[in-house]
Structure 1
Amino acid sequence: MPVVQPRVELLAHTPEPLSLIYAAFRQCYHDGQVADMWPRLLAGDISKEKQAAFVAAILESGHASPVEHVSFTFALSGVSRALTHQLVRHRIASYSQQSQRYVDGSDFDYVIPPEIKKHPEALARFEGVMAEIGSAYRELKAILEVAGRTGSKANEDARFVLPQATASNIVVTMNCRSLLNFFEHRCCRRAQWEIRHVADAMLALCRDVLPEVFMVAGAKCERLRYCPEGEKFCCGRFPVRKEGGA
């Protein structure tokens, strides 16, 4: 039962993302059809610098819906089921996750929290529990198979003993607006360590492809320049907003 680390890879994104967002924004303010403009955009008749400046100015005004036309697809592997339970709460997205019904969990991979790794006594106890669960899974599966529940039918019942530490693989697709919201919540220092690590890696990949949208993305405080979490939860990176203003 190997210990694994999260891995984030960008599988695909909408082609010509900046030009598509520019065209969508322009359609809102243009009396013609942007389909006539599209060949010029692809040919480079309208410079990327001009497109970027226009997109930045409109985004600054608060008009953000046209960025929804561009999406990114990521493969996340070696992440815990605890992380994927948090991830799927971001509802404007598409997910395809490794099934515990069809994938045998007899030798499941798992993720160890860093704070547990720091303490030898806690680590030994954690790893002992993982070994116990693996043994219980295999025993339950064998009992069920003898009773006639073979293949995925045995897996689907035995999986009920698997822990949240169990590693999983998942494909996720989000549009840019959903990603901006995701980064605001999950790049925050208050987010759990694992999903924050994954969100930071996803953000870095998005910035490489579309810096015009994602260069200023991240935790909500980075955009607001103050902490919206209040005194109780503020990490101290930015001041807390006071009553009546920032």
Structure 2
Amino acid sequence: SLNEPTFVVPPKIADDPECLKVYNETMDTIWKAYNKLAETVPPEDARYVLPNGCTTNITITMNARELLHFFRLRCCNRAQWEIREMADEMLRLCKEVSPTIFAKAGPPCVSDKCPEGKLSCGHPRKI
């Protein structure tokens, strides 16, 4: 079983005290259910009750070409906020290490035209 719960709280929930209370109570209930299940079934099966907000550690390997592609997709305003924050931080670190390669990295709207068409957010990002 997992030792202690770690959940991501979306900013809009964190900013609303009533929503945050409901969120935390729900996570507590889910955590108790997970631990109860983990007493009798393998943890990988018990994990199925955990919500999307449960943290997951991932390890990835990317070369510079793949990083540039990743940044075009995930630094965009239309990307989900959590992956966008991670991509922005990765890009910041890449620019420190290799500023020439990553000088124009980021969402397409930074160095080119937005490919989203009618779905465009209309707000080019400054990275």
TM over 0.5: yes
SS in 2 for 1:110: coil
**Structure 1 residues 80-229: aligned runs within 5 Å:** 104-142=1-39, 144=40, 154-224=42-112, 226-229=113-116
Residues 1:230 and 2:117 are matched in the alignment: yes
CA separation in 2, counterparts of 1:110 and 1:229?
A: 31
Identity percentage of aligned residues: 46
SS in 2 for 1:174: coil
CA separation in 1, counterparts of 2:88 and 2:109?
A: 15
Q: Is the contact made by 1:105 and 1:159 (CA closer than 8 Å) also made in structure 2?
A: no
Superposed CA offset, 1:163-220 (max 9, x none): 1111122221101111111000110111111111100110111111111110110001
Return the letter of the residue paired with 1:174.
M
Relative contact order: is structure 1 or structure 2 higher (C-alpha 8 Å, sep ≥ 6)? 1
Q: Is the contact made by 1:106 and 1:137 (CA closer than 8 Å) also made in structure 2?
A: no
Shift of 1:221: 1.1
User: Normalization by structure 2: what TM-score?
Assistant: 0.89
**Across the two proteins, how many residue pairs are aligned to each other?**
124
Where does structure 1 lack aligned partners over 5 or more consecutive residues?
Answer: 1-103, 239-246
| Greater share of strand | 1
CA separation in 2, counterparts of 1:237 and 1:155?
A: 43
- Which structure has the larger Rg? 1
Please give the root-mean-square deviation of Cα atoms over the aligned residues, in Å. Answer: 1.5
CA separation in 2, counterparts of 1:134 and 1:106?
A: 11
